Structure 1
Amino acid sequence: MSTATYGLQDIKKELQHLSGLQIAELCLRLARHKKENKELLAYLLFESDNQADFVEKVKAEAGFMFSQLPVRSYEAAKYLRKILRLISKYTKFMASKEAEINLLSNFCTNYIQYADRRTSYKPLRLILIRQVEKIRTSIGKLHEDLQLDFTNEYNAMLDDAEKKLSWFNKSGYLL
């Protein structure tokens, strides 16, 4: 026997009929079951009012993780994926394309600075390439005024990548 799953609209209608105390109890119960639910609730309660500070905290945490990057290519690729999971979790919490672009640009900048530049390990290279492509498509979805701001930073990052990484060719990624 399986339980029925209800859509978001059904849940929203039902929540409108509950009191504030009952909703608080439901939120606490949700937070008990999964760590990510607890982290999302903590973000919404304590951090969502100042998104810029939260982005800076995430950048600092990712920067610290980059400073701990292993030397061997296989382990470095695993560790970079771990950093990307952290970034994607927080961008999901913020639900902001600007914050996502900001964090991914910071990731790429740190990658250029800390990752092994001479590596021929293809998965390690593809991590950067995928993030550059993700930034490019995200910039395309923004309002025109914001696109211009992010495009200059993006192209500067591509120039830096091409200078420091012999295997990187920026021509396929320019905006």
Structure 2
Amino acid sequence: MKASPLVDIKKELKTLSSNEIQEICLKLIRFKKENKELLTYLLFYAHHEDDYILSVKTYIDEAFETINTNSYFYIKKSVRKILKNIKKFARYSQKKETEVELLLYFCKKLKDFKPSIKNNTTLFILYSNQLKLAKKTIATFHEDLQYDYNLLIQELQF
């Protein structure tokens, strides 16, 4: 089955009643976890971005606490999973400020992590790449925001 273009879907949605749209939404959230997460963001956090950032930071804290530190293999695997979820959460928001905020928080947690990421090349490169990505995104912000975020980045550099 080929997916219909967005224009056709919009036209079809306009013809449906609110109850029918509600039924479709409920079917969507039963189908895939990401759909449920996105709908949760849209309903509860879209107008409260600070609360959303705080909830994702709480997730990051909990995820870093559960990392198995027996070997760097497990650490790398867990850190990649955390980063993948952060990117997904940032994509829900579609706000660059939220993305930068989450990336910098991730980098802060990774820098403070024990055992140190300096001892593992892969983790250090992953850390450096996320800082570069944050810098690149920050360059598009207003000058005042750039200054504030650049101060945070200077603290995070080894």
Q: CA deviation at 1:48?
A: 2.0
Tell me how far apart the structure 1 counterparts of residues 50 and 61 of structure 2 sit (CA, whole Å): 16
**Which segment is superposed worse, 87-96 or 63-72?**
63-72
CA RMSD of aligned residues (A): 1.7
Tell me how far apart the structure 2 counterparts of residues 17 and 149 of structure 1 sit (CA, whole Å): 48
- Indicate the residue corresponding to 1:167 in structure 2: none
Structure 1 residue ranges, 4+ long, deviating more than 6 angstroms after superposition: none
Q: CA deviation at 1:128?
A: 0.4
Gaps spanning 5+ residues in structure 1: where? 163-175
Q: CA deviation at 1:76?
A: 0.5
Q: CA deviation at 1:60?
A: 1.6
Tell me how far apart the structure 2 counterparts of residues 62 and 114 of structure 1 sit (CA, whole Å): 12
Q: TM-score, normalised by structure 2?
A: 0.90
Tell me how far apart the structure 2 counterparts of residues 107 and 120 of structure 1 sit (CA, whole Å): 18
Which runs of structure 2 are paired with 1:19-168 in the superposition (5 Å)?
A: 19-71=17-69, 72-117=71-116, 119-158=118-157, 162=158
Q: CA deviation at 1:118?
A: 6.4
**Which segment is superposed worse, 98-107 or 86-95?**
86-95
Q: What's the secondary structure of 1:69's corresponding residue?
A: coil
Q: CA deviation at 1:41?
A: 1.0
Question: What percent of counterpart residues are identical?
Answer: 34
CA 1:34/1:49 → structure 2, altered by over 3 Å: closer, same or farther?
Answer: same
Tell me how far apart the structure 1 counterparts of residues 85 and 37 of structure 2 sit (CA, whole Å): 12
Tell me how far apart the structure 2 counterparts of residues 48 and 75 of structure 1 sit (CA, whole Å): 34
**Which segment is superposed worse, 29-38 or 41-50?**
41-50
Answer whether contact 2:110 2:117 (CA < 8 A) is retained.
Answer: no
Q: How many residues align?
A: 157
Answer whether contact 1:65 1:83 (CA < 8 A) is retained.
Answer: yes
- Return the structure number with greater relative CO, CA threshold 8 A, min gap 6: 1
Gaps spanning 5+ residues in structure 2: where? none
Q: TM-score, normalised by structure 1?
A: 0.82
Answer whether contact 1:73 1:119 (CA < 8 A) is retained.
Answer: no
Q: CA deviation at 1:115?
A: 4.3
- Indicate the residue corresponding to 1:170 in structure 2: none
Tell me how far apart the structure 1 counterparts of residues 117 and 63 of structure 2 sit (CA, whole Å): 21
